[in-house]
């Protein structure tokens, strides 16, 4: 069964950093891009960036450049999201998703989501 299982710390204070994990199973991890998408309560989905697990190449949304890093460990088929300098505006549900479907590069498999809450 193809799936992405997410884990990571949920409660942070302003200025903190958070590291989220996304473990792939049921397919070859290095064959598909991994994307990170978040949803702030009451708002739409927001694309944060992507990573090629084979090469490690990354691309980040302009809003997040400078405080986001996407990495991976191919030995454990896991992608990681690091987000620094957290503010209350980063309180959201964070999803990892597998990309690459068709010319759109659509996201066909999603993790269950991790809630990150930033509060003092």
Would you state the structure tokens that stand for residue 31, as one six-digit string? 């064959």
Asked if residue 86 binds other proteins (CB under 8 A), the reply is: no
Asked if residue 113 binds other proteins (CB under 8 A), the reply is: yes
- What's the burial of 68, exposed, middle or buried (CB within 10 Å: 0-12/13-18/19+)? middle
Q: In whole angstroms, how close is the CB of 15 to other proteins at the nearest point?
A: 28
CB of 45 or CB of 76, closer to other proteins: 45
Measured CA to CA, the distance from residue 41 to residue 101 in angstroms comes to 27
Q: In whole angstroms, how close is the CB of 27 to other proteins at the nearest point?
A: 13
What letter does residue 1 receive in the DSSP assignment?
A: -
Q: Which residues between 49 and 68 bind other proteins (CB under 8 A)?
A: 50, 59, 61-62
Spatial contact of 80 and 70, defined as CB atoms under 8 Å apart: yes
Measured CA to CA, the distance from residue 84 to residue 34 in angstroms comes to 20
* Per-residue binding letters, 16-55, with other proteins (x by CB under 8 A): -------------------x-x-----xxxxx--x-----
Residues in contact with other proteins by the rule CB under 8 A: 35, 37, 43-47, 50, 59, 61-62, 95, 97, 99, 101-108, 110-113
């Amino acid at each position: 069964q193809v799936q992405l299982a997410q884990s990571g710390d949920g409660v942070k204070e302003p200025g903190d950093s958070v590291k989220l994990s996304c473990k792939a199973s049921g397919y070859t991890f290095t064959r598909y891009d991994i994307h990170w998408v978040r949803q702030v309560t009451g708002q739409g989905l927001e694309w944060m960036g992507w990573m090629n697990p084979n090469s490690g190449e990354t691309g980040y949304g302009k809003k997040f450049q400078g405080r986001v890093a996407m990495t991976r460990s191919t030995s454990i088929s896991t992608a990681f999201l690091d987000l620094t300098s957290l503010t209350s505006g980063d309180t959201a549900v964070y999803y990892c998703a597998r990309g690459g479907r068709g010319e759109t590069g659509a996201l066909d498999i999603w993790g269950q989501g991790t809630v990150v809450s930033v509060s003092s």
